[in-house]
Structure 1
């Protein structure tokens, strides 16, 4: 067989991962905003004695690192998209960046809870006016960051294994962007909680609200991190796609003649990208190309391996 003929059946595994993703530029801008606010909140939290403000600043410090990982994942995936050592391209670098960010979220939620508990037993005086001003500034910065990253973020929550997605793009999760979005959303939440705690302390004398809000924020951040860890680990471990997507592919392949799918594997290899392996049993003169032509376009199966098995006595 001539090499030029062989090239008809070969293809690259870039799958568009060499293109700059839409969340990358906004992530870089959010990193700059977050880093500047982080320095301000940590320093003023120490000076003014506010645990809620300090927790918010430390939280933003973790997110500055996490957002840096997000940016690094985008750049690495793009630059190594054509590297043949990645069997299905670099799409899973996206999930790896999201997984790492989720781990940082979980770690800093524990640190926030620990420090807040310590403040219950060893409270410190708080300069409420100055701390409130800085917390409001932090909330404004976080709000801008949420708007920047939320523009391209899929706001849907994780769906159960058996749930269907009724539009073609609902399964295109950019875990890297989702991680960045959750980080800045958590920052906005802790800033808001810090303001509530400081106002309660200033006007109602409820100084215990400061560490209490630190604990509430830690619990909510932990919950978000667990959800992101679950979703990204599914991608990293090649977990089977949701039942509804698998059934949609199965129905499409079995829609003609008496062809039946005997074995099916469908999994995510990047944001909105899937790979599939399937064995089809048939009586007809079916070819792998025939099967591939039936695959639903909206599933974006960019790499498919098809086995054809003839029934005994078939045509």
Structure 2
């Protein structure tokens, strides 16, 4: 009963995430179209760069939306984990696009800085205000889920950085309108791009660690080994693997060599104790232990398969 309730709650929460993503996609399509037209008319590279970033937002939000829906699909004989990693893959793709977009903006900003052009600042100001409001609302929609879900965090970061970029474009528009400082357009574009690289790199690194099955930074394997080795019947725990499947699941797999030839029921009791230990202290919620007695295999903690 309890498990069934949790599943329903997760399903409803996933539906809410999907709805919020759809709203954000719709808003960003409108913002992108308006900024492209406005950037071409006004001649503002900053506005066009913001439109390009908004377009990358649309792509990233669509990827996040598709990934969110894929996670609802059930496992099968061909896909025993289902699509549990779809959102991690989406986060990786979105982070990579952030960096690519940023590099393109840096190149264009340097070119434009060498040849500043007069810009219709009034249009820049109004369109940047529209983008700030639209992206600001989208940021609020996704903020809660961004704390606990890497996919939603990637979408959230796209929107947050674009809102900040729009603020910078607004400031630039005001400076161009009242002080004729047209070079500000290129400087702001460059600053926006550097910030995108910084944000994108951190997310790319985190998602890569999960996809590469690296041990989460919060899991001290040596400490876990010492605590399990302290069990009276355990001779040694070895061949240890710890990885993060997705946002909700951390797996531990290991071999345990026992001091004596224990019964299956005795092993089951020890296994429950180990599961409670690693879950309560380290949030590891999937444990797979291979019991051994006198087996002649490698006893190193980490063994290359």
With the length of structure 1 as denominator, give the TM-score of the two structures: 0.80
**What is the aligned counterpart of 1:309 among 276, 287, 292?**
292
Secondary structure, in 3 states, of the residue corresponding to 2:85?
A: helix
Structure 2 alignment gaps of length 5 or more: 1-6, 296-305
Structure 1 alignment gaps of length 5 or more: 1-14, 155-172
Greater RCO structure (CA 8 Å; 6+ sep): 1
* CA–CA separation in structure 2 for the residues paired with 1:292 and 1:115: 59
Conservation of the 8 A alpha-carbon contact between 1:92 and 1:235? no
- Residues 1:297 and 2:291 aligned together: no
2:115 maps to which residue?
122
* CA–CA separation in structure 1 for the residues paired with 2:208 and 2:286: 21
2:41 maps to which residue?
47
- TM-fit CA distance, 1:289: 5.8
1:235 maps to which residue?
210
Conservation of the 8 A alpha-carbon contact between 1:252 and 1:294? no
* CA–CA separation in structure 2 for the residues paired with 1:289 and 1:74: 38
- TM-fit CA distance, 1:247: 5.2
* CA–CA separation in structure 1 for the residues paired with 2:267 and 2:218: 26
- Residues 1:78 and 2:65 aligned together: no
Once the two structures are superposed, residues 180-199 of structure 1 have per-residue CA deviations (whole angstroms, 9 ceiling, x without a partner) of 01110111111011112122
**Number of corresponding residues:** 279
1:166 maps to which residue?
none
Whose helix fraction is larger, Structure 1's or Structure 2's?
Answer: 2
- Residues 1:140 and 2:133 aligned together: yes
1:58 maps to which residue?
52
Cα gap change, 1:289 to 1:236, in 2 (>3 Å): farther
User: In angstroms, what is the RMSD of aligned CA positions?
Assistant: 2.5
Conservation of the 8 A alpha-carbon contact between 2:57 and 2:159? yes
Secondary structure, in 3 states, of the residue corresponding to 1:151?
A: helix
* CA–CA separation in structure 2 for the residues paired with 1:104 and 1:213: 20
- Residues 1:274 and 2:250 aligned together: yes
> Residues 177-256 of structure 1: matches in 2 within 5 Å?
177-242=152-217, 244-246=219-221, 249-250=224-225, 253-254=228-229, 256=231
Conservation of the 8 A alpha-carbon contact between 1:272 and 1:300? no
**What is the aligned counterpart of 1:24 among 18, 25, 31?**
18
With the length of structure 2 as denominator, give the TM-score of the two structures: 0.83
- TM-fit CA distance, 1:49: 1.3
- TM-fit CA distance, 1:292: 4.3
Cα gap change, 1:107 to 1:279, in 2 (>3 Å): same
- TM-fit CA distance, 1:310: 3.1
Cα gap change, 1:119 to 1:289, in 2 (>3 Å): farther
**What is the aligned counterpart of 1:287 among 264, 267, 271?**
267
* CA–CA separation in structure 2 for the residues paired with 1:89 and 1:297: 23
Secondary structure, in 3 states, of the residue corresponding to 1:78?
A: coil
